Amino acid sequence: MTLDKRVTEDDVVAELRDGMTIAVGGWGSRRKPMSLIRAIARSPLRDLTIVSYGGPDVGLLCATGKVSRVVFSFVSLDTIPLEPHFRAARQSGVVTTTEMDEGMFLLGLQAAAWRVPFLPTRAGLGTDVPSMFPGLRTVTSPYDDGEELIAMPAFDIDVALIHMHRADAAGNGQYLNLDPYFDDLMAQAARRTFMSVEEVVATDDLAAGGPPQSQLIPRVFVDGVVEAPFGAHFTECPPDYGRDEAFQKEYAASAKDPDAWQAFRARYVDVASHDEYRRAVGR
């Protein structure tokens, strides 16, 4: 029997619950699972903790009132350095934050993927990170040097949402760009993972489409596959498409004016489906 894990964006949202901790793959405004993020944004979900090398995934969910806490090392739109919707939410106190060095964030993912409670690191020592990271502790090396290190705790992730270029129906995911980011660690670290992809293909076509190392996500870590062409829009997803800079500027500008945000939201967020979104943006 052929294993088939194909689901829709709405099927994924139906598996989520208020108060969950959700990790989002990609990096800044690059290969974010935006069709899944928009599905969450138009749902009744609330009180989410988002763990992300953040971009518009964080900003959009903050702007639509879904988030109570953000765990991050940065939240950026890349060509627009500061994500304006996240900045507005943080400055107004709507969300709480736990911020850290990019390397500490990586170790939080790695520890969770390895199922260990923490990993030691020098990153963060001598900085203000411990004061902004409630409960962060240090550990003394058990070896002769007795060095004090930060004990970066494993992230406790309920669900990971990632976007790949290709996958088969069983959940084997393939990336076709130069940088895998840390989507594989997120998939391993989370209790459940849902993966959107540009295209679902036959398993044999994955091997034909790129080298073995491009098959980044093994099916054992995937609970559902969503076929979503242009599913990362407006973030970049090369070689399939680049970042839609004009759209991103419109999104960023909407953070400056409540009326502009409501118009943007009505047109591009509160839509019935990803297919309707694609029609709205001409994709």
Q: Based on the fold, state whether residues 132 and 191 are members of the same structural domain.
A: no
Tokens 């036959």 -> residue: 202
CA-atom Rg of the chain in angstroms: 19
Instruction: Report pLDDT for 1.
Output: 61
In the three-class reduction of DSSP (H, G, I as helix; E, B as strand; rest coil), residue 143 is classed as coil
Bridge partners, 51 (sequence order): 23, 71
Task: Give me the sign of the Cα torsion angle 73, 188, 169, 40.
Answer: negative
DSSP 84-119: HHHHHHHHHTSSEEEE--HHHHHHHHHHHHHT-SEE
Q: Based on the fold, state whether residues 161 and 149 are members of the same structural domain.
A: no
Give per-residue pLDDT as tens, 196-240. Answer: 999 999 999 998 878 888 999 999 999 999 999 999 999 999 999
Domain, as residue range, for 75: 9-100+155-275
For 35, list phi and psi in degrees, rounded to 5. Answer: -65, -35
Inter-residue contact 189 to 52 (CB < 8 Å): no
Give per-residue pLDDT as tens, 12-41. Answer: 999 999 999 999 999 999 999 999 999 999
Instruction: Report pLDDT for 134.
Output: 83
Q: Based on the fold, state whether residues 95 and 166 are members of the same structural domain.
A: yes
The answer to whether residue 4 is domain-embedded is no
Q: Based on the fold, state whether residues 263 and 222 are members of the same structural domain.
A: yes
Q: Based on the fold, state whether residues 127 and 200 are members of the same structural domain.
A: no
The answer to whether residue 3 is domain-embedded is no
Q: Based on the fold, state whether residues 58 and 186 are members of the same structural domain.
A: yes
Q: Based on the fold, state whether residues 246 and 180 are members of the same structural domain.
A: yes
Closest CA to 237 of 24, 32, 28, 25: 32
- Counting the structural domains of the chain, the total is 2
Q: Based on the fold, state whether residues 162 and 271 are members of the same structural domain.
A: yes
Q: Based on the fold, state whether residues 132 and 179 are members of the same structural domain.
A: no
The answer to whether residue 113 is domain-embedded is no
Q: Based on the fold, state whether residues 144 and 159 are members of the same structural domain.
A: no
Q: Based on the fold, state whether residues 87 and 138 are members of the same structural domain.
A: no
Give the CATH number, domain containing residue 46: 3.40.1080.10
Query: CA-CA distance, 43 to 40, in Å (whole number)?
Result: 5
pTM score = 0.96
The answer to whether residue 108 is domain-embedded is no
The answer to whether residue 39 is domain-embedded is yes
The answer to whether residue 56 is domain-embedded is yes
Structure tokens at 278: 């694609």
Q: If DSSP states are collapsed to H, E and C, what string results for 213-242?
A: HHCCECHHHCCEEEECCCCCCCCEECCCEC
Low-confidence ranges of the chain (pLDDT < 70): 1
Give the C-alpha distances (Å, rounded to integers) separating 76 from 9, 97, 149, 227: 25, 15, 29, 26
The answer to whether residue 235 is domain-embedded is yes
